[in-house]
Chains A and B, each alone.
Chain A
Amino acid sequence: MNPWDLIMNNAPALAIAIPLLGAFVTPLINRAGRKAMLVWVIAVLAFTEFIALLLVYQVNTYGIQVYVFGANPHTLTVPPDSGGIPVRIIFTIDGMSAFTALISATLGLVVGIYSVGSEKFQTAQEKFFALLLLLVVGMMGMALTGDIFNFFVFLEINSLAAAALVSYHLNKGKAVEAAFKYAVVSSIGALMILFAIAILYGEYDALNMAMIAQRMYQTGFSTYDMIAMTLILVTLAMKCGAVPMHYWVPDGYGEAPGGTSAILVVASQASLYGLFRMSFTVFGLSANTSSLGWFMIILGLLSMFIGVTMAFLQHDIKRLMAYHAVSQTGYMLLGVGVGLATLGTAAFNQYGLYAMEGGIFHIINHALYKGLLFLTAGAIIYRVGTSDLNKMGGLAHSMKFTAVFFLIGAFAIAGIPPFNGFASKLMIYESVYQLNPFLAIVAAIVSMLTLASFLKVFHSAFLGPKIYDVKEVPKSMLFAMSILAFFIILFGIFPNIAIHYLVAPAAHALANPLGYITKVLGGGA
């Protein structure tokens, strides 16, 4: 078998194996010197990105992919002698999984390149980069897995790696405090998910998502399912930072080192993926999707409004952006929530699917522009040494590129055309108002407040007299920022590239749980 076929056939496993191997070996390679370690990490991240692109290609060309660990052949989901039960761990990759995996890999690569420059003066860099790779492993695993206990394991990798990354700059104990809060909150959440998994296991004797969904559909939605569903959905809503369980978000994002906040945004989006996957695929057939949809919509509205108003109060640049991350998560919950609320009715084809596409498009846009904004914030802190906006001013005199990148990110998040934030916000506004005009009004007001708040940041950090005599940040950091800025403009001017290849397959995959179940169980549903 030639190597290309080997990669093509085993792409789902390689998406986990490459960064995992990279993480395990990174501390060893560091013995050969810092440069070798950095080259290794960037190479591993680039190869992961390649695998993620390959997954997107495979899903778009051949439909849903399954990969069974330890089975021969690797597509044998149900052993012939088992009576129709999947017994092994199955990776199931549909449009939404490939979409999330691509975002994780991309931001992982960008943050890796950025951190080469921004963490130059820190000790224990090999631990930092190993944790970065492990965080990518966690996100990829959450996105690709089709097994509910495996999901829990990757959720734990994700939260522990993220918490350890948050604590990396100890920052007189403040970063460790943030990491402690993050770790406690995500551990209790993960335990609740494990409890729900135990309930589902006790009820259906299955751990495969498709199998659970099928048996739940056949036996009817019981009160135990309801309890398990609530535990899972509330926990994942907390992990993606929905108000009123968002308190860890500003702590964690605000104290994370340099550009690492950018990848923490994607780590939360992996939980958002989990929320969508669970509510559409696992519980979508049996539960009342309308009330699940309204659960998401209300959380989304609360997140949007409280997030953006709390951001006004902040004078720490990264905490301010973290509150904006909460607020932007609200848009995704709103868009997909409207899709879920109308699932199965005539309204779904009328506007629900567009709302879902808007919400999912907003995920990648948010990852790009909030990633860029966090990277510029990291650049400011790298040069100025403080994150307090009250002490900043006049940085545009000396950090011209950073200022331009910040402006691009700020315009994109505020939904100024022709940047990418506008495209997805437009799709959300124009579809959700058909369900209820109030939703679109709140979304538009929040967008204006976002612009006001970022004007405040731009004014106080970049405009005004020259106060700090600083240089521009190192080239690797500028390069990382320029990658994201390029994609922001590309997706702003040609939004159909993203919609056609990434967003529409993801939305259709979510809206079709029966296709998922049929693919895994072989026509049993």
Chain B
Amino acid sequence: MRNVLMSIVFLILLAFMLYVAINPGDFGSSTGEHFVFGAPKFTDMDNYFIHNGQNQTAANNIVTSIVFDYRGFDTLGEASVLFTAVLGVGVVLRLLGGGRNDE
């Protein structure tokens, strides 16, 4: 029972995801093709980075200029996630003292 239901769920999801991947053209709207590998439709934000990244951040590698400048705040968040995970591992693997809720 469970396996049958989950198989149906998997088939539905697979159909939708393959739709994203294969992209037989969009029905119901005039937007045309978005997901052709190697030909993104809009590129203006990235073009801004490519054209101004070297001037504004003095980095030859544009990815560096994004990671550490334009989207540097994400990198701070990423460091926080790492710190959180370290604390989490430290919490579960710690030595327990004479607390009353643990043995």
Residues of chain A at the chain B interface (Cβ within 8 Å):
20, 23-24, 69-70, 79, 81-83, 85, 87-89, 121-124, 127-128, 130-131, 134, 137, 141, 149-150, 153-154, 156-157, 160-161, 163-164, 167-172, 176, 179, 199, 202-207, 215, 219-224, 227, 257, 381-382, 385
Contacts and interface: CB of A to CB of B under 8 A. Distances in A.
A70 B72 contact: yes
Interface string B45-77: 110110010000000000000000111111011
B34 A87 contact: no
- Secondary structure class of chain B's binding surface, majority of residues: helix
A172 B80 contact: no
A85 B45 contact: yes
A93 B85 CA distance: 28
Contacts of B19: 223, 227
26 contacts: A20-B80, A81-B52, A121-B99, A122-B101, A123-B96, A124-B90, A127-B87, A127-B91, A128-B91, A131-B87, A134-B83, A134-B87, A149-B71, A149-B74, A150-B73, A160-B84, A160-B85, A160-B88, A164-B85, A205-B41, A219-B30, A222-B34, A224-B26, A224-B34, A257-B101, A382-B100
A130 B87 contact: yes
B91 A168 contact: yes
B6 to A, nearest CB: 15
Contact of B99 (A24, A69, A123, A203): A123
B36 to A, nearest CB: 10
A85 B48 contact: yes
Range of interface residues on chain B?
35 or more
Contact of A227 (B16, B70, B72, B96): B16
B34 A131 contact: no
A131 B48 CA distance: 38
B92 interface: yes
A164 B84 contact: yes
Interface of B: 16, 19-20, 26-31, 34-35, 40-46, 48-49, 52, 69-74, 76-78, 80-81, 83-85, 87-88, 90-92, 94-103
Contact of A121 (B90, B91, B100): B100
A385 B91 contact: no
Contacts of B88: 131, 160-161, 163-164, 167
Nearest to A219: B31
B92 to A, nearest CB: 5
Contacts of A127: 87, 90-91, 94
Nearest to B71: A89
Contacts of A382: 100
Contact of A89 (B44, B73, B94): B73
A130 B83 CA distance: 10
Contacts of B92: 164, 167, 170, 176, 179
B96 to A, nearest CB: 6
Contact of A169 (B42, B46, B87, B101): B101
B28 A223 contact: yes
B45 to A, nearest CB: 5
A83 B26 contact: no
B99 A122 contact: yes
Contact of B91 (A87, A89, A131, A156): A131
Nearest to B30: A220
A70 to B, nearest CB: 6
B42 A205 contact: yes
A156 B81 contact: yes
Nearest to B48: A82
Given A69-B73, A203-B41, 17 more contacts: A69-B72, A70-B70, A88-B70, A88-B71, A121-B97, A123-B94, A123-B99, A149-B71, A153-B77, A154-B77, A157-B77, A164-B91, A176-B92, A203-B35, A203-B42, A207-B45, A224-B34
Contact of B95 (A23, A123, A130): A123
B40 to A, nearest CB: 6
Nearest to B88: A164
A24 B84 contact: no
Contact of A171 (B20, B29, B40, B101): B101
Contacts of B27: 223
Contacts of A82: 44-45, 48
A227 B88 CA distance: 33
Contacts of B77: 141, 150, 153-154, 156-157
A164 B52 CA distance: 41
- Name the 4 nearest CB pairs between A and B, nearest first: A164-B88, A205-B42, A153-B77, A123-B97
A382 B62 CA distance: 54
A153 B81 CA distance: 8
Contact of B29 (A123, A131, A160, A222): A222
Given A220-B29, A223-B28, A157 B80 contact: yes
A14 to B, nearest CB: 14
A134 B96 contact: no
A20 B30 CA distance: 45
A374 B98 CA distance: 24
A127 B89 CA distance: 10
Given A163-B88, A167-B91, A150 B42 contact: no
Given A70-B70, A222-B26, A172 B103 contact: yes
Contacts of B34: 202-203, 222, 224
Nearest to A13: B73
